Structure 1
């Protein structure tokens, strides 16, 4: 037995010795990779700071441009503003003005010629400005002629107002505010024409200012003698009910009845909807009838 164990131990020792002889004694070291980064120094240099700032800037969100408001890129908007001032100027003066006088009012005498031409073109095409050529010139230039305010209704006197109302194709009234656009002090003339029965006027309740005007025919107005007026006021008129009764007795149908005496029916109160009783259906769970008994009626 002992000899068998000794043989096994001896074979194991021989195997270990042969395996160790095959292992090389010197270890080979791996060469460093050429692209390996060098270790960073302990103190941060100025270059690393710059790199961090650049990366931080790249990460910041870009500001979006808002396109809802147009940018002021030209003289067009300013020219239209100048034209608004010109219309107010012509409206106050109420007389023709040359383009040179308009430029002096706007303080635009020494601006570029392109800007002046733009203002003149807008004024000639504007519906609130009337341009008339210069009669002394055979050929008109871009800055020649006269400019005058063109009102909504071209009326500036009592005669013009009567003529305008008579040639009007429809029966609609004329707003006094539209008349004031070209005739600011027209209220006195309207009062005079109303007293002469040449126009009909509606007025505001608060200040009694003229609001709308229509043409009127003075020949339809007849003067009633004062004596007849006194007799009329002394006569006692029958009541509405008596007039209706007399008309019915005469076999005539009254045109209308007194609306103030109409009895309005009282509004009917809203009836509450009653809940419909639950209709009994066919019971399919007859085996549970003893559990579905209603005991509410048996309570005291």
Structure 2
């Protein structure tokens, strides 16, 4: 008869079970103590785990809001899609193209160069200051235009820089070409069949302003049409929104906006220091 085994069995006092139970509870409490006190009060859709139906929708809404805020932030300060609404820049840009405008191109001391394709606000130079309308409608329109889903504001234009501050721009020489500072410019980017200009002009561009023209000269309302307006048809540099860099839509048009060397031989304006590297919406 195994009396030692019986004695060992009898020696298990009720207190040992309580002690084991106490240790278990203590361990559980310690594990719980390691969690953040606020974890139990957070909604399940923020704490993780398997979300409920409502939590799934909340997460989707939060993600959509964050994405929209990010896109608007980038569009506002870095790179903005711009819908081309007319044919004034054909064949370089076509109606329906969405170009990506580099808003940092002229933010750090650089100015637009001859040949750049720029987007600018023409209010006050190509027309009257934009009238104030319904603020809510205007805000929604600006948000849609900022992501390329709506046409730009009526005062926003896309054109090519032909003359910068101090330049004398004239039309035309005996071959019908525009001259900048006495140098004829061969504009190979013009729409087929267009002449450089059917309007004759002779203007010295004021400092801090630009003379701009569309590539489809026969279908473009540009500096030539506002010779009698304030500024003589020129646009203030500080009204330039950015430089058109890429065509992002439609897919078959993916490419950079072509640069030009048409102005490489143009001399600097009298009294102006030559630059180190000559510059290569609505109609």
TM-score when scaled to structure 1?
Answer: 0.20
More helix by share: 1
The higher-RCO structure (CA 8 Å, 6+ apart) is 2
Which has the greater radius of gyration? 1
TM-score when scaled to structure 2?
Answer: 0.21
More strand by share: 2
